Amino acid sequence: MKLSHTVLPAIATIGLLATTSCGTSDASGGTNPEASNAPAYCQDGPIKFGIEPFEDPAKLEPAYGVLADAMERELGCEVEVQVVEDYSAEVLAMRNGKLDLGQFGPVGFVFASEQAGAEPLVSFGTSDGKLSTYTAGLWVPKDSNIRDVDDLRGKDLALGGVGSTSGDVLPRYALKTAGIPESEININYAGGHPEALLALANGTVDAAQVNTQTLATAQAAGTFNQEDYRRIWTSEPIPNDPITVRPDADPELKKAVKEVLLNLSVQDIEQVGAFLDVDPAGPLLEVTKKTYKPLFDLASEMGLTEEDI
């Protein structure tokens, strides 16, 4: 698979182009689906698959490249994976018809559903055949005098990125539940989950959000020693990210993509699953909008709007 890193101005994304299947090469070196035996639903170009930036794109791209290659083999269509700039960019891209498929964070899916009509297809399963979950958490150094959320008043708190379920909305929900106005805490958006963890590890903040996905990745990489820190708050389990399709996609594309995703081998999924704290990974499993009802309820209770992602 050829990897290319290009900025797509229309939706401000970093692109990964998987080019291993349908179409014959044209004079410019690209592919020409019309000259191939590609299915009708990909005759107009590649299937565009957006991924929210929940980890460093340089790490996500190879993992999603494996997933894209597997989809291409089964669909007979080129699949282009785009790690988007931020959560709102992905919603906007699907709403504007720039993405056919999108993996959204759970709260991101709420807005993708409401603003772009995104339809959930599958999410990530565990090796015992259950839908996977993860949790948000607030962490401090083990010798900190911060014992619970109430002790965060007047402290520096690193959050991941605006619109992130575990890196923004749920930690702020914890503050709200504890009756702590956000104005009483110095909230710093670090720019992502790994960056928030790094701020804590470097001692530049008093506390930081670290979800179980980032924790697992950092521990595997040897960049975070859990014994040196304490978790002062954890959320209820959060259903993992759904892979969705835009509502006006070709019905045959919807059907084919869902069937392919449900039947991918664990080997095609496990690299992505490792970033989502699904290890060992199982097959992808069907989900519906109902699966994410707690996140719709959360968004309503927090009074979130599209401007909050």
72: tokens are: 């291409």
Q: How confident is the model at residue 36 (pLDDT cuts 50, 70, 90)?
A: low
Sequence-distant (≥ 6) Cβ neighbours of residue 243 within 8 angstroms? 101, 102, 103, 120, 121, 122, 123, 261, 284
pLDDT in tens, 104-140: 999 999 999 999 999 999 999 999 999 999 999 999 9
pLDDT in tens, 251-309: 999 999 999 999 999 999 999 999 999 989 999 999 999 999 999 999 999 999 877 77
pLDDT in tens, 82-106: 999 888 999 999 999 999 999 999 9
Q: Hey, how many other C-beta atoms are within 10 angstroms of the C-beta on 177?
A: 11
Global pTM value: 0.85
For residue 31, pLDDT over 80 is answered with: no
User: What is the pLDDT, as a whole number, of residue 3?
Assistant: 33
79 with 46: CB under 8 angstroms? Answer: yes
User: What is the pLDDT, as a whole number, of residue 26?
Assistant: 44
Mean pLDDT of 41-59: 91
- Strand, helix or coil at 303? coil
For residue 38, pLDDT over 70 is answered with: yes
For residue 217, pLDDT over 70 is answered with: yes
Q: State CA 65 to chain mean position distance.
A: 15
d(CA 229, CA 186): 20
For residue 17, pLDDT over 80 is answered with: no
Percent of the chain exceeding pLDDT 70 equals: 88
